[in-house]
Amino acid sequence: MDKPQTLKGFRDFLPEKMIIRNEAIRRLRGIFEKYGFDEIQTPSLEYQEVLLGKYGEEAEKLMYLFKDPGQRNVGLRYDLTVPFARVASTYQDLPKPFKRYQIQPVWRAENTQKGRYREFYQCDVDMVGTSSPLADAEIIAVINDSLKALGFSNFKIRVNSRAVLFSIMENAGIDKERWLTAIQSIDKLDKKTQEEVEQELAQKGISTEQTKSIFGNIKSASPDEFLSKTIEYTKNMGAYENVSFDPTLARGLDYYTGPIFESVVEEPKIGSITGGGRYDNLLKTLGGPDLPATGTTIGLDRVVDVVDELKLWSQEKTVTKVLVTVFNPELLLQSIKIASTLRGSGVNAELYPDEAAKLEKQLKYANNKGIPFVVLIGPEEDAKNLVQLKDMASGKSENITLEQLLKKIK
């Protein structure tokens, strides 16, 4: 290796990106907690027996599976839903319904492209212990409020149901054991042409007549009773304006059993930014209680990519609000006092960490880092109990008292 570099699909995040990521997480946490969801975290590694047999063959090809030093078969988590189902199975005395949110990284050996990485963060909200469509409607409302809180305006929440898809498969005369693999192919209609999907279905043993029936029934499909109630509840919650029924929506993972949802933005073309649905059998599959569940994930990395590309927020380079300079070693204690006072008042203040540095170097540092304000205290200011505040954007300076400085900065 000529020089150190990251693995393909893995990234470093410098301060400018972390500011956007942390702000997105802050906004999402606010929405999740407003709806009564509490945070949990789970380990990065799970036993392979927890991960395998839940997602489908195509997903399992993308898992990072290996033996640990103790020769145990383990794997990096593929999503946050299966680990959550394990938690709900392990801690069966949790209050039901149990509402949790989780913001952690997951790993998939994807073919990397725009918006698709091998290590990425998911922001999940899930509810376990209720089979009411009210729960699914609330998840959709959380999606709607979350995307609005992130500053998105042109987005669509597509909804469908596995019950609708299963009915289409049955009416087409497809053997039940082939339903899920056929659904996985239909799920690619947003990435492939209908002809390409038809060819894939043929390779899976679906006849031309059956394929024709599938696409014919998709065009005439309507929501089943459960999904209709879910949609009605979203209207009462004021969350329906961006919702649309889409019978081609399939979601590729095997564990979904009822309503499924996915969100896309008009621009940029980056794929889905949220995805989820009802998975009533997953806890039982893990050896836990037979409890229904529903939820969604919001892809933090794609959210950040959209915010960054569309410049939805102000592009700050640092969380530091003020740089307190050191005029000379004799005035160091005054600079320390000012920095401490600012920090004590809740202002992010950085004290330049070299009392021998020239003032020009300190100002250049503030400019390069993107710090909006600089405080200087020289002999003249010190004699008058004043400080000089410099606005780095406008270049204007003013001499004010420390009390005035606190009011102005805050």
Binding residues for L-histidine: 79-81, 108, 122, 126, 251, 255-256
**Among candidate residues 308, 303, 296, 299, the one with its CA nearest the CA of residue 148:** 303
Asked if residues 275 and 296 have their Cβ atoms less than 8 Å apart, the reply is: yes
Between the CA of residue 406 and those of 167, 341, 399, what are the distances in Å? Answer: 66, 9, 13
Asked if residues 132 and 174 have their Cβ atoms less than 8 Å apart, the reply is: no
Task: For the chain, count helices (H), then strands (E).
Answer: 16, 16
**What is the SS3 assignment for 226?**
helix
Asked if residues 250 and 190 have their Cβ atoms less than 8 Å apart, the reply is: no
Q: Which residues pair with 399 in a beta bridge?
A: 388
Q: The tokens 């009390």 sit on which residue?
A: 403
Query: Which DSSP letter does residue 189 get?
Result: G
Give the whole-angstrom CA distance, residue 404 versus residue 409: 9
Asked if residues 350 and 402 have their Cβ atoms less than 8 Å apart, the reply is: no
Q: In what order do the strands lie in the sheet with 259-265?
A: 38-39, 98-107, 119-128, 293-299, 272-278, 259-265, 155-161, 243-245
Q: Where would I find the H helices in 150-243?
A: 162-171, 179-186, 194-203, 208-220, 225-236
Give the whole-angstrom CA distance, residue 262 versus residue 274: 5
Per-residue burial over 97-133, b if 16 or more Cβ lie within 10 Å, else e, is bbbbbbbbebbbeeeeeebbbbbbbbbbbbbbbbbbb
Query: How large is the C-alpha radius of gyration of the chain?
Result: 27
Give the whole-angstrom CA distance, residue 135 versus residue 307: 29
Give the whole-angstrom CA distance, residue 135 versus residue 239: 13
Q: Give the residue ranges of the annotated binding site.
A: 79-81, 108, 122, 126, 251, 255-256
